[in-house]
Amino acid sequence: MHGPDRPGLVARVSGWIFERGGNILHADQHSDTEAGIFFQRVEWASAPGGAAADAAVFRAFAESLGMTARVASSTRRPRVAVLVSKFDHCFHDLILRGKAGELAGDIVAIVSNHSDLEAATRSYGLPFHLIPVTAATKPADEARQLALLRQLDVELIVLARYMQVLSADFLDKAGRPVINIHHSFLPAFAGGKPYHQAAARGVKLIGATAHYATAVLDDGPIIQQDVARVTHRHSVEDLIRKGRDLEKTVLAQAVRWHLENRVLVYGNKTVVFD
Amino acid sequence: MHGPDRPGLVARVSGWIFERGGNILHADQHSDTEAGIFFQRVEWASAPGGAAADAAVFRAFAESLGMTARVASSTRRPRVAVLVSKFDHCFHDLILRGKAGELAGDIVAIVSNHSDLEAATRSYGLPFHLIPVTAATKPADEARQLALLRQLDVELIVLARYMQVLSADFLDKAGRPVINIHHSFLPAFAGGKPYHQAAARGVKLIGATAHYATAVLDDGPIIQQDVARVTHRHSVEDLIRKGRDLEKTVLAQAVRWHLENRVLVYGNKTVVFD
Amino acid sequence: MHGPDRPGLVARVSGWIFERGGNILHADQHSDTEAGIFFQRVEWASAPGGAAADAAVFRAFAESLGMTARVASSTRRPRVAVLVSKFDHCFHDLILRGKAGELAGDIVAIVSNHSDLEAATRSYGLPFHLIPVTAATKPADEARQLALLRQLDVELIVLARYMQVLSADFLDKAGRPVINIHHSFLPAFAGGKPYHQAAARGVKLIGATAHYATAVLDDGPIIQQDVARVTHRHSVEDLIRKGRDLEKTVLAQAVRWHLENRVLVYGNKTVVFD
Amino acid sequence: MHGPDRPGLVARVSGWIFERGGNILHADQHSDTEAGIFFQRVEWASAPGGAAADAAVFRAFAESLGMTARVASSTRRPRVAVLVSKFDHCFHDLILRGKAGELAGDIVAIVSNHSDLEAATRSYGLPFHLIPVTAATKPADEARQLALLRQLDVELIVLARYMQVLSADFLDKAGRPVINIHHSFLPAFAGGKPYHQAAARGVKLIGATAHYATAVLDDGPIIQQDVARVTHRHSVEDLIRKGRDLEKTVLAQAVRWHLENRVLVYGNKTVVFD
């Protein structure tokens, strides 16, 4: 939940949970003192049989405090669609982490504009959806993607090195968070071929950035970033190889946090309760 | 505060503060579910004029919850003594951070078993106390140190590459936390000449560890650790030079956290509410 | 090559290559001034058609300089066997890196003492060899493993979280380098259950170490190490999850360097020409 | 030395040194295969009494190979001027590292546009030169600075958080390398108030960049960069505090490498032979 900061919010929320027989497992809060906004993430065990009722009533309670709240049950696993093109490192990484139990959600489909990863997808026992995208037919292609995502009832869309820019219209109509991995330390090297840009500028660190996609390219709220050291000895190919490792871990971390409801977006920034 | 975990602790504490007109600025809690211990650090602004009363009453309130509490006023700055020998990097670093306002306490004296850093200490406008220590006279020397520290009324003792092992008796009688910096990634390379040990073992990372000194050498609760990458190209002298930077930042971080009352010790471990 | 250091070695070697029409692509050397040992790795393009002859003659030339040399052709890809048990993260990671072209060698077989990873191995199109190992039959089991590895003609054995300790006899008879991944920052937490040891000691960083296996458990020459930050909030399960990422990248890096002939072992240490 | 790449360069250079009775201590080379440029740094011990002659003749020898060479004697310590304003962290850090023997050069003067650091400078036993700079009188102020630097015979100018932009004319007339520390991960957040920019963008890492100053602000060849992790909990003040540590180590590293002749500039990039 988040909203205008004022005294007593922590006491009111923890008191509400205690009175209903719940037990707080984790609680984390943050006040943006400049903006006067209070953020809180509370994880609690409801009294036996009380989870459904708690969820229904908490939102109203939070509203009575002037807060906007989102309530999620940890037993419900969000459905996730992963969009890919030809690069397969984030694709394998996310699926294997899912199988290893690292993600609090289920990857229910792979959607791609190329058929390259169809066999690998099927060997994982996952459905593969091919929707080619061309510049000329993009609006229609995106309409097909949207229809599919709606039909799959996904709650999170992950761009795992998906090489098409999604239109503002798509993002608007999707109405679902879209997490993208950009292969640079944003805001440096936004746009195409960031490793080539990095090599040309002679930086000593390369990075990767996971962020929510917004209508402005590579400008959405940043969830996670990391960097790796490079030297003059590294060719652009080396940067790409090292970058793959960054992209995998940064994207996976962002997806994991999102699925555990640890990421709050406000303005163009995120609060990550890790 | 910390003590046996049970439902409602967060609600009780935050309610207590709210009822007395206080406002929670930060609150962080942790449950060690294996050990069944609840830890909490709450930072609050008391109602105008209420700080002294709050401090006096809170401890009793916490005890009524079965908790052990420590209450500190952020306007009171603990007095700190820094023990040094001949190495000066942590010495300069701590003093300069103090002057830069990074530490929530005051370095009130430098105590050394050598006179090497006397002039530098005085140029910072700080008192310098020379207490030589020899193997033969150690009990008497430590008695002089203890008398001085008591007279200086210090609440924290920092060993900034102080090259004498403090006896269990000293630590017991001091009755004050003692933070030491060990120049390795403990528990690897405990004891003397850790950089030489590291070079001999051929590790690819060297480290530094800040910990509370206890009767067992290099075995006290760890507060902070960090590492730096080394290669076969680095001589022992290079390890020592790189290690100096680690030692400075790791010790300073530990001292800073301690002075902000962010470190809780339990068993042989720490909870750091950073 | 490596051997007793003396003036002129770089000139002699580079002159030899130049005279035979070769072109040095990379050259890196290191003198252990304490031990008086000179190490060099030279990568050169032989004159057209001269590679085979160069390889044959270079060793003799190096011997004439008092050096021990190993010569490898970058067009020959060593055959690699990966030993696994039930953990699959390093298993998937190594195979996928192989398929991505990151390794200068070929994984030709998976050998396991459990059948858990048989299906996954086959889905990658790789042969899977099941050789159960029990305490009672270990000598015979190791004999079967040795026979298999000899038959497979492998030049490198990788223990990708293989959960049996290889006997000194096995290592001796294998006569091939064996790279192991240990899930701690060695020499801290050698032996079993290192993440539990780390949690018990309250360290603030956990690590992973890739090293050559020797007769002394967890004591062989270290090739690569890395660490990740942990806090009191991380349970042993979290340490294990974070550790998986460390283990994957550290083991892969060590295998990659080994296959590119970048690792020289001397005494119980390595020189890595990265 | 650097110049057009061609076969035999390593052999020719190492042969030249060997023939004159020298002994190579370190040698490192790099080929930018795209640009076809060969870079080499060789550190050698001349035959007794031969150092001066070697230096004089080597440049001509390198030219005969088509190379541009710079020869420096490791016994000669370059004179360094440090320009400061009011921030003192890099100022103290550089001076203390100099005193600790970490720099292969001598800080011979502190030059400032403010008098704040005069007393601290004098307590280090260093000369302090006050040259106020105003927008209206900048050309004349820079002329005074240039005259002073020439008179001091410095070979390196270090901007240790010096808060005035040096004009292209100054840089041109100085004819000496100028190392600047910028408090961001360039090219992100060039220009003023980078920590505020970073906070506004919501990045998860902040950085610092040491680079040679050129006529284009914050665009010169990068020598060294590093980053530190930040979260929503960090205020701009925290970013500034954490940034100080980055700035100190990154600037010191760059100055150290430069003074050891480890940095070669070409185009707008650097090759650092570390």
Statement to judge: residues C86 and C43 lie in one domain: no
Q: Which of A91, A102, A235, A245 to mutate to test the interface with C (most CBs of C within 10 A)?
A: A245
Residue B54 placed within a domain:
yes
Statement to judge: residues D52 and D111 lie in one domain: no
Statement to judge: residues A202 and A253 lie in one domain: yes
Partner-chain residue, chosen from D17, D28, D31, that has the shortest CB–CB distance to C11 = D17
Closest to B160 in 3D by CA, of B79, B94, B253: B94
Residue D70 placed within a domain:
no
pTM (2 d.p.): 0.96
Residue D187 placed within a domain:
yes
> What confidence tens digit (pLDDT) does each residue in D13-61 have?
999 999 999 999 888 998 888 889 999 999 999 999 888 899 889 999 9
> What confidence tens digit (pLDDT) does each residue in A77-86 have?
999 999 999 9
Q: Which chains touch A (3 or more CB pairs under 8 A)?
A: B, C, D
Catalytic residue status for B93: no
User: Which of these is catalytic: C54, C93, C141, C218?
Assistant: C218
Q: Is D4 on the interface with C (CB under 8 A)?
A: no
CB C250 within 8 A of CB C225: yes
Residue A71 placed within a domain:
no
CB A187 within 8 A of CB D189: yes
Please enumerate, as own/partner, the contacts of A135-142 that have beta carbons within 8 Å and a separation of 24 or more.
A138/A164, A138/A167, A139/A167, A139/A169, A141/A113, A142/A166, A142/A167, A142/A169, A142/A170
Sequential DSSP letters for C162-224: --SPPPHHHHHHH-S-EEEEESSSTTTT-SS-HHHHHHHHT-SEEEEEEEE--SSTT-SPEEE
Statement to judge: residues B53 and B96 lie in one domain: no
CB D209 within 8 A of CB D182: yes
Distance between CA atoms of residues A133 and A140, nearest Å: 9
| Cβ contacts of B27 on chain A, cutoff 8 Å | 10, 27, 29
Distance between CA atoms of residues B16 and A18, nearest Å: 14
Q: Please answer yes or no on whether A185 and D185 come within 8 Å at the CB atom.
A: yes
| Cβ contacts of C225 on chain B, cutoff 8 Å | 203-205
Statement to judge: residues C135 and C14 lie in one domain: no
Phi, psi of D136, deg, nearest 5: -70, -35
Q: Please answer yes or no on whether A233 and D203 come within 8 Å at the CB atom.
A: no
Distance between CA atoms of residues C266 and A164, nearest Å: 51
Statement to judge: residues C58 and C130 lie in one domain: no
Distance between CA atoms of residues D274 and D261, nearest Å: 10
Q: Is B25 on the interface with D (CB under 8 A)?
A: no
Domain boundary among A24, A40, A64: A64
In the three-class reduction of DSSP (H, G, I as helix; E, B as strand; rest coil), residue B186 is classed as coil
Residue D74 placed within a domain:
no
Statement to judge: residues B84 and B57 lie in one domain: no
At residue A34, does pLDDT exceed 90?
no
> What confidence tens digit (pLDDT) does each residue in D53-106 have?
998 899 999 999 999 999 999 889 999 999 999 999 999 999 999 999 999 999
At residue D151, does pLDDT exceed 90?
yes
Q: Please answer yes or no on whether D232 and A188 come within 8 Å at the CB atom.
A: no
Q: Which ranges of chain B have pLDDT less than 50?
A: none
At residue C160, does pLDDT exceed 90?
yes
pLDDT at C33: 82
Give the Å distances, CA to CA, from D30 to A201, C152, D102, D109.
18, 38, 26, 35
Q: Is A102 on the interface with C (CB under 8 A)?
A: yes
pLDDT at C259: 98
User: Which of these is catalytic: B54, B93, B141, B218?
Assistant: B218
Partner-chain residue, chosen from B7, B14, B28, that has the shortest CB–CB distance to A11 = B14
CB D243 within 8 A of CB D89: no
Q: Please answer yes or no on whether C89 and A100 come within 8 Å at the CB atom.
A: yes
Q: What is the CATH number of the domain that holds C54?
A: 3.30.70.260
Q: Which of D5, D9, D10, D24 to mutate to test the interface with C (most CBs of C within 10 A)?
A: D10
Residue D16 placed within a domain:
yes
> What confidence tens digit (pLDDT) does each residue in C141-155 have?
999 999 999 999 999
Closest-CA distance, A209 to chain D, in angstroms, reads 9
Statement to judge: residues B155 and B249 lie in one domain: yes
Residue C69 placed within a domain:
no
> What confidence tens digit (pLDDT) does each residue in B174-187 have?
999 999 999 999 99
Statement to judge: residues C31 and C99 lie in one domain: no
Statement to judge: residues A15 and A84 lie in one domain: no
Closest to B130 in 3D by CA, of B144, B115, B117: B115
Our count of domains for chain B comes to: 2
Q: Please answer yes or no on whether D28 and C28 come within 8 Å at the CB atom.
A: yes
For residue C88, give the chain A residue with the closest CA. Answer: A100
Q: Which of C12, C14, C43 to mutate to test the interface with D (most CBs of D within 10 A)?
A: C14
List, in sequence order, the alpha helices (H) in chain B. Answer: 9-19, 51-64, 89-99, 118-123, 138-152, 168-174, 194-201, 236-259
Q: Is A197 on the interface with B (CB under 8 A)?
A: no
Q: Is D48 on the interface with C (CB under 8 A)?
A: no
Statement to judge: residues C31 and C91 lie in one domain: no
Instruction: Look at the alpha carbons of A213, A218, A222, A224 in this order and tell me if their dihedral is positive or negative.
Output: positive
Biggest CA pair distance of chain D? 63
Q: Is D203 on the interface with A (CB under 8 A)?
A: yes
Domain that holds residue B97: 79-272
Q: What is the CATH number of the domain that holds A141?
A: 3.40.50.170
Residue C244 placed within a domain:
yes
pLDDT at B32: 85
Closest to D10 in 3D by CA, of C20, C21, C9, C18: C18
Partner-chain residue, chosen from B32, B189, B222, that has the shortest CB–CB distance to C203 = B222
Partner-chain residue, chosen from D10, D23, D25, that has the shortest CB–CB distance to C27 = D10
Closest-CA distance, D64 to chain A, in angstroms, reads 26
Statement to judge: residues D230 and D103 lie in one domain: yes
Tokens of A174: 């999707």
| Cβ contacts of C8 on chain D, cutoff 8 Å | 18, 23
Confidence of residue D267 (pLDDT cuts 50, 70, 90): confident
